[in-house]
Amino acid sequence: MQIFLDTADMDALKKFSRTGLIDGVTTNPSIIAHSGRDLKKTIGAICALIKGPVSAEVAACTADHMIHEAKVLRAIAENVVIKIPLTPEGLLACAALSAENIETNVTLCFSANQALLAAKAGATYISPFIGRLDDLGQDGMELIHDIRDIYDNYGFATQILAASIRSTAHVKQSAMAGADVVTIPPKIFEQLYHHPLTDKGLAAFEKDWAGTGQSIIE
């Protein structure tokens, strides 16, 4: 499973890109707004740092305007993926862009039927929002399973990009459900490393080794 970071925080991206574990980045208008930075400059800086897919979202509501904005965003860098809302106009734009071999990420997916339409429109990625469904008392992870079944039934190439991830448990469950990608905030990525037994075991090893008075280097 690929791991994307859902952020426009350049400090976090620089820190975690060094791990070699980050495959791409997703952004949206809210993330860019919270960063306080210029959209085009921010996307350009991210694309220069991260060589994998970088999702940049259109702001328009009509297909023609979405396509126009997509061309502007795509001109920033070759690894820009155009993020489009799952609306009738959005899927029209998705189909047009896909016909030009421009990669798309159809976002704000909350049902398997929506995911089916996005795949038929040629979406590169579909972004089901797990956490937001959980907030409504529904089982967001069930949606990942349903989309996986549908896509496998018909051989759709659209990749399932699990979004709105709220915990490390969501990451594990997405992987077990067969999501192709998970996009997560930096703080959750960092939490993936940790387990209390790892910390406890390492502390014991360090104490025992210090007691030997030895050094591997000298």
Q: Indicate which residues carry an active-site annotation.
A: 83
User: Cα–Cα distance between 140 and 203 in angstroms, integer?
Assistant: 38
What value, to the nearest 5°, has the Cα angle with vertex 145 and ends 141 and 147?
Answer: 110
**Strand ranges, E, within the chain:** 2-6, 24-26, 54-57, 80-85, 104-109, 125-128, 159-162, 181-184
What six digits make up the tokens of 133? 């469904």
Provide the b/e sequence for 104-115 (b: ≥16 CB within 10 Å).
bbbbbbbebebb
